[in-house]
């Protein structure tokens, strides 16, 4: 990717994030947010609720921090030092960015008048911190699995598992009434952009080391 292409991509990404954040600040929910959330909650059952609570717990603040720390340490001990440094930096910056956007956007959480609120929290709604963590951490692991895991079957199983976690963590936040679907989609979009930048940087450092 040329320098001009990278600059153009960065500019478009920044403008997209600004526009999306402003829209989330301007509107408490987007079109189809309520309809999709009500449909998802309409699937309610005790086993599904238990699964959604468990999946959501994986994305909670302290669990995610411990998971990132464990993943970083594991990569370091396996001598994937560059990947360990990048995953640690990515998640530190991602955590700070998600908190900053919450403060700037100031979008309220879904109301109990519209949805069943099964997970009560006081922080602002946009973007979903759980979904943001899921896309940058598990997304990073998904990518490096394609280059570090040589066994094709093991790589496929691992990537399906990681991709499933990203999807389920986001859905769990809507099912539990903690976020609008657009909060989750926004986290995927912004976190995905951040992830792409870090992966471009990772590949650039890898090329320098060869």
Structure token digits, residue 151: 């066994």
How far, in Å, are 9, 16, 40, 102 from residue 108 at the CA level? 31, 21, 20, 10
Q: Angle at which helices 152-175 and 181-209 pack, to 10 degrees? A: 150
Query: Quick one: CA dihedral 154, 158, 163, 165, positive or negative?
Result: positive
Residue given tokens 């979903």 in the structure block = 128
Between CA 148 and CA 144 the distance in angstroms is 6
Of the candidates 43, 26, 83, 82, the one whose C-alpha atom is nearest the C-alpha of residue 174 is: 43
Cα angle 33, 30, 42; round to 5: 5
Q: What residue numbers bound the domain in which 176 lies? A: 3-209
pLDDT for res 2: 67
CA 144 and chain centroid, separation: 16
Q: What is the pLDDT along the chain (210 residues), one digit of tens a residue?
A: 567 777 888 889 899 999 999 999 999 999 999 999 999 999 999 999 999 999 999 999 899 999 999 999 999 999 999 999 999 999 999 999 999 999 999 999 998 889 999 988 888 999 999 999 999 999 999 999 988 888 899 999 999 999 999 999 999 999 999 999 999 999 999 999 999 999 999 988 888 865
How far, in Å, are 55, 87, 205 from residue 76 at the CA level? 27, 11, 16
Contact 202, 146 (CB under 8 A): no
User: Which pTM was predicted?
Assistant: 0.93
Number of domains making up the chain? 1
* 100 burial level (CB within 10 Å; 0-12, 13-18, 19+): exposed
């Amino acid at each position: 990717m040329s320098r001009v292409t990278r600059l153009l991509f960065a500019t478009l990404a920044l403008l997209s994030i600004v526009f999306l954040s402003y829209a989330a600040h301007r509107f408490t929910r987007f079109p189809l947010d309520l309809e999709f959330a009500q449909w998802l909650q309409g699937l309610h059952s005790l086993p599904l609720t238990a699964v959604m609570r468990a999946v959501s717990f994986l994305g909670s603040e302290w669990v995610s921090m411990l998971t990132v720390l464990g993943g970083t340490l594991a990569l370091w001990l396996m001598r994937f030092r560059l990947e360990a440094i990048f995953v640690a930096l990515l998640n530190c910056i991602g955590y700070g960015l998600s908190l900053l956007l919450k403060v700037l956007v100031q979008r309220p959480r879904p109301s109990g008048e519209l949805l069943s609120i099964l997970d009560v929290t006081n922080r602002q709604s946009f973007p979903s911190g759980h979904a943001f963590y899921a896309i940058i951490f598990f997304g990073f692991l998904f990518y490096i699995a394609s280059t570090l895991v040589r066994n094709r079957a093991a790589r496929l199983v691992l990537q399906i598992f990681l991709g499933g976690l990203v999807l389920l963590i986001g859905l769990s936040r809507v099912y539990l009434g903690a976020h609008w679907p657009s909060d989750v989609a926004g986290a995927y979009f912004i976190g995905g952009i951040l992830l792409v930048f870090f992966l471009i940087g990772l590949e650039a450092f890898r090329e320098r080391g060869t």
